[in-house]
Chains A and B, each alone.
Chain A
Amino acid sequence: MPAPEQYRMIFRHIDEPGYTSDLACYLRNGGYEVLRKAVQRKPEELVDEVKKSGLRGRGGAGFPCGVKWTLLDRKSGKPIYLVANADESEPGTFKDRYIVYKDPHQLLEGIMITCFANKVERTFIYIRGEFPEGARILERAIAEARAAGFVGPNILGTGYGCEIYVHRGAGAYICGEETGLIESMEGKRPYPRIKPPYFPAVLGLYQCPTIVNNVETLCHVKHIAERGGEAYSKIGTPNNTGTRIYCVSGHVRRPGCYEFEVGKITMGQLLNEVCGGPLPGRSFKAVIPGGSSAKVLRFGERFKGKRKSGATMVDYDWGVEDIPMDFDSLAMIGSMGGSGGVIVMDDSVSMVEALGNINEFYAHESCGQCTPCREGSLWMKRITSRMVHGLARAEDGALLKSVADQIAGRTICAFGEACSWPTQSFIAKFGDEFKAYAAAKAQARPDGAAELI
Chain B
Amino acid sequence: MIQPAATDLITVNVDGREIAVPKGTNMIEAARRLGTDIPHYCYHPKLAVVGNCRMCLVELGMAAVDPATKAPVMDPATGRPKINWRPGIACAANASAGLHVRTTSPLVKDFREGVMEFLLINHPLDCPICDQAGECKLQEQATGYGRGYSRYIEQKNVKPKRTQLGPRVTLDDERCILCSRCIRFCKDVAKDDVLGFTDRGSYSTLSCYPGRKLENNYSLNTVDICPVGALTSTDFRFKMRVWFLKQTSSIDTESSVGANTVVWSREGAVYRITPRQNDAVNDTWMADSGRLLYKAIRSAERLDAARVDGSSSALDFALAAAAGILAKGGVGVVGSGRSSVEELFLTAKLAKALKAPAWLVSRTGEGDGLLVSADRNPNVRGALVTGLISSLPSARLDELAARIDAGEIRSVVSVGEDLAAAGIGAKRLAKVSVVYLGTHSNPTSACARVVLPTLTVFEKSGTLVNQQFRIQKFARAVPGLTGAADDLLVLSRLVSAAGGPGLGADAPSLWASISQEVPALATMSYDDMPATGLLLDAAPWSQLAFAEGPSLHYQPAQAQKEAPARG
Name A residues whose Cβ lies closer than 8 Å to a Cβ of B: 172, 189, 191, 194, 196-197, 363-372, 374-379, 382-383, 386, 399, 402, 406-407, 409-412
Contact = CB atoms under 8 A, between A and B. Distances in A.
Contacts of B119: 371, 375
B201 A364 contact: yes
B54 A365 contact: no
B202 A363 contact: yes
Contacts of B324: none
B12 to A, nearest CB: 16
Given A366-B200, A406-B114, A412 B52 contact: yes
Interface stretch (B149-157, B240-248, B311-319): B149-157
Given A370-B52, A379-B121, A365 B201 contact: yes
Contact of A371 (B50, B118, B155, B199): B118
Contact of B202 (A196, A378, A410): A378
15 contacts: A172-B200, A189-B196, A197-B92, A363-B202, A365-B200, A368-B197, A368-B202, A371-B115, A371-B118, A372-B114, A372-B115, A377-B201, A378-B201, A410-B54, A410-B115
Given A194-B49, A194-B92, A363-B202, A371 B151 contact: no
A99 B59 CA distance: 43
B120 to A, nearest CB: 9
A194 B51 contact: yes
B209 interface: no
Nearest to A190: B200
Interface string B280-320: 00000000000000000000000000000000000000000
Q: Which of B114, B151, B201 counts the most chain A CB atoms within 10 A?
A: B201
B118 A194 contact: no
B178 interface: yes
B202 A366 contact: yes
Contacts of A378: 122, 157, 201-202
A406 B55 CA distance: 12
A368 B178 contact: yes
Contacts of A371: 52-55, 115, 118-119, 177-178
Contacts of A412: 51-52
A412 B180 CA distance: 15
A367 B114 contact: no
A411 B200 contact: no
B115 A368 contact: no
Interface of B: 49-55, 57, 87, 89, 92, 110-111, 114-115, 117-119, 121-122, 151-152, 154-155, 157, 177-178, 196-197, 199-204
A197 B92 CA distance: 8
A410 B87 contact: yes
A369 B52 contact: yes
B87 A374 contact: no
Nearest to B91: A194
Contacts of A372: 54, 114-115, 118
Contacts of B157: 378
A89 to B, nearest CB: 14
Contacts of A386: 154
Q: Which of A194, A363, A364, A374 counts the most chain B CB atoms within 10 A?
A: A374
A191 B48 CA distance: 15
A379 B49 CA distance: 27
6 smallest beta-carbon distances between A and B, as pairs: A406-B114, A375-B118, A368-B204, A382-B154, A366-B201, A378-B202
Contacts of A399: 151
Nearest to B114: A406
Nearest to B50: A194
Contacts of B202: 363, 366, 368, 374-375, 377-378
A172 B468 CA distance: 50
Nearest to A195: B92
Given A366-B200, A410-B54, A374 B152 contact: no
A382 B151 CA distance: 13
Contacts of B53: 370-371
A194 to B, nearest CB: 4
B50 A410 contact: no
Contacts of A189: 196-197
A196 B51 CA distance: 11
Contacts of B201: 363-368, 374, 377-378
Nearest to B178: A368
Given A194-B49, A386-B154, A368 B200 contact: yes
A368 B270 CA distance: 39
Contacts of A406: 110, 114-115, 117-118
Contacts of A365: 200-201
Contacts of A191: 52
Nearest to B157: A378
A145 B52 CA distance: 43
A370 B51 contact: yes
Nearest to A189: B197
Contacts of B114: 372, 406-407, 410
A342 to B, nearest CB: 27
A379 B200 contact: no
A374 B196 CA distance: 17
A369 B183 CA distance: 13
Given A379-B152, A399-B151, A410-B111, A368 B54 contact: no
A333 B215 CA distance: 57
Contacts of A194: 49-51, 89, 92
A257 B118 CA distance: 39
A372 B201 CA distance: 11
B203 A368 contact: yes
Contact of A375 (B57, B111, B122): B122
Contacts of A369: 50, 52, 178
Contact of B155 (A196, A197, A377, A382): A382
Contacts of A382: 154-155
Nearest to A362: B201
A177 to B, nearest CB: 13
Contacts of B154: 379, 382-383, 386
Given A370-B53, A410-B87, A375 B200 contact: no
Contacts of B121: 375, 379
A84 to B, nearest CB: 24
Nearest to B51: A194
Contacts of A411: 54
B422 to A, nearest CB: 51
A140 to B, nearest CB: 32
Given A194-B89, A386-B154, A406-B114, A367 B51 contact: no
A370 B200 contact: no
Contacts of A363: 201-202
A10 B8 CA distance: 53
B151 to A, nearest CB: 6
Contacts of A375: 118-119, 121-122, 202
Contacts of A374: 118, 178, 201-202, 204
Contacts of B200: 172, 365-368
Nearest to A378: B202
Contacts of A409: 87
Nearest to B202: A378
Contacts of B111: 410
B549 to A, nearest CB: 29
B518 to A, nearest CB: 49
Nearest to A412: B51
B104 to A, nearest CB: 18
A57 to B, nearest CB: 22
Given A189-B196, A368-B204, 6 more contacts: A194-B50, A370-B53, A371-B118, A371-B119, A371-B177, A379-B152
B57 A410 contact: yes
Q: Which of B49, B54, B57, B122 counts the most chain A CB atoms within 10 A?
A: B54
Nearest to A376: B118
Contacts of B151: 399, 402
A49 to B, nearest CB: 28
B26 to A, nearest CB: 11
B163 to A, nearest CB: 18
